[in-house]
């Protein structure tokens, strides 16, 4: 292939994962590319940023955090750890911790990767890389041009070793959906599907993910192992015993027209709660064992003493179980599971009982233990997610915040005059709903629900829950931790319970989904208009991924007695009486939009272009819903997801692909399914069916 040189205007920018300087045509702004050095996905910026990142200022919030500005963007596999002397100095300092020096990748020569993404040629794209010092350029053309087919890997040699150039894997997970041509202000085309048996047991889609080519892989519960008759293939896993509920995994084509296969476990073996894809397309499930599991499987997956969580790895085609492993000590359910670029499976969940430690477990691709060398006290078999000890008690970490009350028998005055007054905490540990997110450099972020009692001087103690967010290096070194308190906060109450977390590669921030129990005492950052009483209301927080600092927040308002203004905010008078709601999961697209699906409350707000609005005259109940926000948390789209009957639908999962937005859950009402495909039913057979809706905004 002849060498080509670009004479067009280009822009330079830094890979947000490994800091490698890249260059591309100005016309490529907004396109999704893959870094040739670390394989991280990113969006080409509109303007020319500086090629290297400068450390952000230290957080000034109530919890000081270890700076990660020079840590979190290092290349995957490059480990960041402070020296012992630096850690000792930090513990005695009253000020913010110093920035951690960056450890650069060990190179024998300087490498410059110059990337020019030209127009697609017959379905492929032309990628052009050079190695520093005027070395020979190597060009690779992906599938679709001439005789080149399949996944092509080319290697650029010299200087820093091999650079693998490859397109996204069709089998592996889709990094981010390309939404450049979408118009969220227009009415979406919506296809709806449902499937299930005639039993009375619950049937629903619980979790979903997407492959690189847009195929949907989902898991959930059915009442009948033969509920789907139109699938291309049907597999039975572990055994074929009958019972009440059957866990399933299924794959849909990218447009939903066919169910490629469905795999059904024997009855009452496990409850699936989470799903993820490995780089080779294998499927990881997280969940909880049920009554028959130990008798059917034996001890090959573990003895399950003081734990009920389980992780299961399936082949890419869903036809066989490759391995099963028990959760960590005390783990009730593996409600979150992720797979890194090396194929290692990480899973976690809340604890069975109060005052127990929670853990993040990691297994190699073959199911063997994968250790975390930076975990303290030789406990390298897991990340210990426990704010009561270890790295969480270091200065600047969130455990040290709660420990301030030990300075006096009366507690510590966290918020000063006019606040709560001296407060004492009794911490019980991470109790519920721990969720994982993997950063581009394989750093690990977790959000979870901390249980504690608090007592203000002169008053009795009360139970409460805080949402904790923490980030670790790939090796288990705690980089920062936060309880999302604002400056001067004394205590959060009533409960703040974690629901989900997602990383937005467009702006580099994390978005945390939380259920706030009531509104009469404490409110998160962001405006909340009205009173929820003792009901849960959903909140989304925008968090700096480098420091854990809370940047902004947005409440999901469902007002029973008023109209709505801009951004879905209730308009007073009268004073808004808010209904409870339950947002379940978050997703992002290439434009940085935040999608969330869940169950709305009464009188829920919908945008003028909504597929379905709140039923006129209905003052109670709720339906499945989809809402879309901009990266700065402005509402742009909101719709109900239902058939002709009210209060019969629910949503648990949302996935965004190039082919649209998919919302999975359940439906028990008439008039829902509108897609005529072999695997979908037009009517509900039992009490409810598993359901899925596809929204196309282009």
Which of 51-65, 182-196, 304-318 bottoms out in mean pLDDT, i.e. has the lowest?
A: 51-65
Beta strand 635-641 pairing with 582-588: unpaired
Instruction: Note whether 79 and 54 are within 8 A (CB).
Output: no
- The confidence band for 435, taking pLDDT boundaries of 50, 70 and 90, is very high
CA distance 338 to 234: 26
Provide the pLDDT for residue 25.
67
Q: Is the pLDDT of residue 375 over 70?
A: yes
Instruction: Note whether 29 and 11 are within 8 A (CB).
Output: yes
Q: Is the pLDDT of residue 263 over 90?
A: yes
Q: Is the pLDDT of residue 381 over 60?
A: yes
- The confidence band for 666, taking pLDDT boundaries of 50, 70 and 90, is very high
Instruction: Note whether 557 and 536 are within 8 A (CB).
Output: no
Q: Is the pLDDT of residue 515 over 50?
A: yes
Mean pLDDT along residues 409-437: 91
Instruction: Give 86 or 294, the one with higher predicted confidence.
Output: 294
CA distance 324 to 537: 36
CA distance 71 to 52: 13
Phi-psi region of 356 (alpha: psi -120 to 50; beta: other; left: phi over 0): beta
Nearest to 153 by CA among 163, 47, 144: 163
Nearest to 543 by CA among 15, 72, 13: 72
Which of 11-15, 165-169, 193-197 bottoms out in mean pLDDT, i.e. has the lowest?
A: 165-169
Instruction: Note whether 667 and 680 are within 8 A (CB).
Output: no
Mean of per-residue pLDDT scores for the chain: 82
Cα–Cα distances in angstroms (integers) from residue 648 to residues 383, 670, 674, in the given order = 40, 9, 16
Length of the chain: 698
CA distance 664 to 217: 11
Q: Is the pLDDT of residue 315 over 80?
A: yes
Q: Is the pLDDT of residue 649 over 50?
A: yes
Question: Can you name the residues that pair with 497 across neighbouring β-strands?
Answer: 515
Provide the pLDDT for residue 652.
98
Give strand ranges (E) for 243-354: 246-252, 259-265, 270-277, 283-289, 309-314, 321-326, 336-339, 345-348
Provide the pLDDT for residue 137.
29
CA distance 70 to 618: 53
Provide the pLDDT for residue 566.
84
Which of 118-132, 288-302, 463-477 bottoms out in mean pLDDT, i.e. has the lowest?
A: 118-132
User: pTM above 0.85?
Assistant: no
Provide the pLDDT for residue 489.
86
| CA 63 to mean position of chain CA atoms | 24
Instruction: Convert the pLDDT of each residue in 568-596 to its tens digit.
Output: 999 999 999 999 999 999 999 999 999 99
Buried-exposed string 94-110: b where 16+ CB fall within 10 A, e elsewhere: eebbebbebeebeeeee
What's the order of all strands across the beta sheet hosting 321-326?
Answer: 270-277, 283-289, 309-314, 321-326
CA distance 542 to 553: 6
Instruction: Note whether 646 and 615 are within 8 A (CB).
Output: yes
Q: Percentage of the chain with pLDDT > 90? A: 67
> H or E segment at 598?
strand 594-599
DSSP secondary structure string for all residues of 118-134: ---BTTB-EEEE--TTT
Instruction: Give 26 or 400, the one with higher predicted confidence.
Output: 400
| CA 645 to mean position of chain CA atoms | 31
Instruction: Give 92 or 44, the one with higher predicted confidence.
Output: 44
Instruction: Give 204 or 410, the one with higher predicted confidence.
Output: 204
CA distance 250 to 664: 12
Provide the pLDDT for residue 115.
36
Nearest to 423 by CA among 469, 388, 460: 460
Q: Is the pLDDT of residue 241 over 90?
A: yes
Nearest to 467 by CA among 444, 445, 441, 434: 434
Instruction: Note whether 202 and 688 are within 8 A (CB).
Output: yes
- The confidence band for 416, taking pLDDT boundaries of 50, 70 and 90, is confident
Cα–Cα distances in angstroms (integers) from residue 487 to residues 403, 414, 490, 564, 632, in the given order = 17, 10, 9, 30, 21
For the record, the structure tokens of 627 come out as 């809402």
Instruction: Convert the pLDDT of each residue in 319-332 to its tens digit.
Output: 999 999 999 999 99
Helix (H, G, I), strand (E, B) or coil at 417: coil
Nearest to 195 by CA among 204, 187, 186: 204
Q: Cα 186–191–197 angle (5° rounding)?
A: 150
Mean pLDDT along residues 152-176: 48
Instruction: Note whether 111 and 132 are within 8 A (CB).
Output: yes
Phi-psi region of 399 (alpha: psi -120 to 50; beta: other; left: phi over 0): alpha
- The confidence band for 91, taking pLDDT boundaries of 50, 70 and 90, is very low
Sign of CA dihedral 46, 509, 374, 279: negative
Which of 399-408, 416-425, 594-603 bottoms out in mean pLDDT, i.e. has the lowest?
A: 416-425
Q: Is the pLDDT of residue 444 over 90?
A: yes
Q: Is the pLDDT of residue 150 over 80?
A: no
Helix (H, G, I), strand (E, B) or coil at 642: coil
Provide the pLDDT for residue 415.
87
Provide the pLDDT for residue 41.
63
- The confidence band for 30, taking pLDDT boundaries of 50, 70 and 90, is low
CA distance 526 to 532: 15
- Tell me the longest C-alpha to C-alpha distance in the chain: 81
- The confidence band for 42, taking pLDDT boundaries of 50, 70 and 90, is low
Instruction: Give 411 or 135, the one with higher predicted confidence.
Output: 411
Instruction: Note whether 345 and 362 are within 8 A (CB).
Output: yes
Instruction: Convert the pLDDT of each residue in 98-145 to its tens digit.
Output: 232 222 323 233 333 333 333 333 333 323 232 333 323 222 222 222
Q: Is the pLDDT of residue 628 over 50?
A: yes
């Amino acid at each position: 292939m002849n060498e080509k040189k670009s004479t067009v205007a280009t822009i330079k920018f830094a890979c947000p994962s490994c800091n490698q300087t890249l260059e591309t045509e100005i016309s490529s702004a907004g396109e999704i590319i893959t870094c040739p050095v670390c394989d991280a996905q990113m969006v080409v910026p509109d303007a020319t940023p500086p090629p290297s990142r400068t450390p952000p200022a230290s957080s000034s919030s109530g919890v000081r955090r270890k700076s990660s500005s020079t840590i979190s963007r290092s290349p995957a596999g490059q480990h960041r750890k402070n020296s012992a002397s630096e850690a000792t100095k930090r513990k005695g300092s009253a000020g913010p911790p110093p920035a951690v020096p960056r450890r650069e990748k060990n190179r024998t020569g300087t490498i410059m990767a110059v990337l020019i993404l030209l127009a697609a040629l017959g379905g492929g794209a032309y990628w052009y890389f050079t190695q520093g010092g005027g070395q020979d350029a190597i060009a690779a053309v992906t599938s679709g041009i001439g005789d080149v087919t399949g996944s092509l890997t080319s290697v650029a040699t010299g200087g820093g070793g091999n650079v693998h150039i490859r397109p996204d894997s069709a089998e592996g997970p889709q990094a981010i959906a390309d939404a450049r041509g979408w118009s969220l202000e227009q009415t979406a085309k919506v296809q709806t599907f449902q499937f299930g048996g005639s039993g009375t047991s619950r049937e629903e889609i619980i979790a979903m993910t997407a492959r690189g080519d847009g195929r949907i892989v989902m898991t959930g519960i059915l009442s009948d192992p033969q509920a789907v008759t139109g699938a291309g293939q049907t597999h039975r896993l572990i055994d074929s015993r009958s019972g009440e509920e059957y866990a399933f995994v299924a794959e849909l084509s990218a447009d939903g027209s066919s169910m490629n296969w469905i795999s059904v476990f024997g009855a009452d073996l496990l409850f699936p709660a989470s799903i993820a894809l490995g780089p080779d397309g294998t499927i990881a499930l997280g969940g909880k064992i049920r009554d028959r599991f130990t008798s059917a499987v034996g001890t090959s997956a573990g003895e399950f003493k003081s734990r009920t969580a389980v992780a299961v790895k399936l082949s890419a085609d869903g036809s066989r179980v490759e391995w099963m492993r028990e959760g960590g000590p005390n783990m009730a359910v593996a409600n979150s599971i992720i797979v890194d670029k090396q194929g290692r499976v990480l899973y976690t969940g809340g604890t069975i009982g109060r005052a127990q430690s929670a853990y993040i477990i990691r297994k190699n691709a073959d199911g063997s233990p994968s250790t975390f060398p930076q975990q303290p006290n030789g406990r390298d078999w897991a990340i210990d997610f426990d704010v009561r000890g270890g790295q969480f008690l270091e200065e600047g970490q969130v455990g040290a915040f709660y420990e301030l009350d030990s300075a006096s028998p009366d507690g510590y005055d966290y918020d000063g005059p006019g606040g709560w007054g001296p407060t004492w905490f009794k911490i019980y540990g991470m109790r519920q709903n721990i969720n994982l997110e993997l950063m581009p450099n394989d750093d690990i972020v977790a959000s979870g629900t901390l249980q504690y009692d608090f007592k203000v001087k002169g008053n009795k103690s009360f139970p409460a829950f805080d949402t904790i967010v923490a980030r670790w290096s790939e090796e288990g070194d705690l980089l920062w931790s936060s309880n999302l308190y604002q400056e001067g906060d004394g205590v959060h109450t009533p409960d703040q319970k974690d629901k989900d977390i997602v990383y937005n590669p467009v702006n580099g921030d994390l978005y945390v989904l939380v259920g706030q129990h009531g509104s009469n005492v404490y409110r998160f950052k962001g405006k909340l208009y009205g009173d929820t009483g003792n009901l849960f209301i959903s909140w989304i927080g925008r968090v700096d991924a480098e420091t854990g600092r809370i940047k902004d927040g947005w409440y999901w308002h469902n007002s029973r007695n008023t109209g709505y203004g801009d951004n879905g905010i209730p308009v007073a008078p009268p004073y808004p009486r808010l209904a409870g709601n339950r947002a379940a999961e978050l997703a992002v697209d290439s434009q940085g939009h935040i999608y969330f699906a869940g169950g709305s409350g009464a009188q829920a707000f919908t945008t003028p272009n909504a597929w379905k609005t709140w039923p006129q005259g209905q003052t109670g109940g709720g339906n499945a819903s989809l809402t879309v926000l901009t990266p700065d948390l402005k509402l742009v789209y909101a719709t109900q997801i239902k058939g002709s009957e009210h209060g019969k639908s629910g949503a648990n999962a949302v996935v965004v692909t190039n082919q649209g937005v998919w919302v999975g859950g359940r439906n028990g009402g008439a008039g829902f399914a509108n897609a005529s495909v072999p695997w979908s039913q037009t009517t509900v057979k039992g009490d409810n069916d598993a359901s899925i809706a596809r929204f196309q905004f282009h």
